[in-house]
Amino acid sequence: MNLNNNTYEELQLLAYEYIRKHRNTGGTSEFDHSINDISRASIVKFKELHGSCFLGEINHYECDRRNPDIKLIEFEGQKIFNFDYGFMLPSNDEEVIRLINEHNKEREGVDPKEIMERIIQIHERIVELKGDFLIWS
């Protein structure tokens, strides 16, 4: 699927159509990988639109939860693999990094409601910064 000539808005519409098409089956389909191409093309267009693009993930499973030290990764044209990142921002943001690091510290014994509140806070900050979320299958 060649998406190089699509605008960012067109790519967002394609992502929305993908979700709409698959909503009765749970949202994404492991048999339809077009959303992965849409997400990769969206990263490229987002960088073109904003001049820079920083990629991140909210939940980190391979980190030391006592000292996660999560960073955002600047997109500079490198290969992006499915599920590598969950969101993109137009600039690096210390507040998002702080919130994600706090979220990924040891969670044993933490009330699930508190964990969800942290995730909502991170999402709100991403939206406030005019960031966007990535969808993978």
Q: What does the alpha-carbon distance between residue 76 and residue 48 come to, in Å, rounded to a whole number?
A: 11
Q: Mind listing the pLDDT tens digit for each residue in 19-43?
A: 888 777 766 667 778 999 999 999 9
Q: Does residue 77 lie within any of the structural domains? A: yes
Count of Cβ atoms closer than 10 Å to residue 124 Cβ: 11
Q: Does residue 2 lie within any of the structural domains? A: no
Domain span at residue 113? 8-133
Average pLDDT over residues 102-106: 83
Q: Does residue 21 lie within any of the structural domains? A: yes
Average pLDDT over residues 52-78: 86
Q: Does residue 115 lie within any of the structural domains? A: yes
What is the distance of C-alpha 107 from the center of its chain?
Answer: 21
The answer to whether the beta carbons of residues 91 and 131 sit under 8 Å apart is no
Q: Does residue 124 lie within any of the structural domains? A: yes
Q: Does residue 3 lie within any of the structural domains? A: no
Answer yes or no: is pLDDT of 12 > 90: yes
Stretch (H or E) spanning 23: none
Give the pLDDT band of residue 4 (cuts 50, 70, 90): confident
The answer to whether the pTM exceeds 0.85 is: yes
Provide the β-strand partners of residue 74: 54
Count of the separate structural domains present in the chain: 1
Give the pLDDT band of residue 109 (cuts 50, 70, 90): confident
Q: Does residue 1 lie within any of the structural domains? A: no
Average pLDDT over residues 110-130: 94
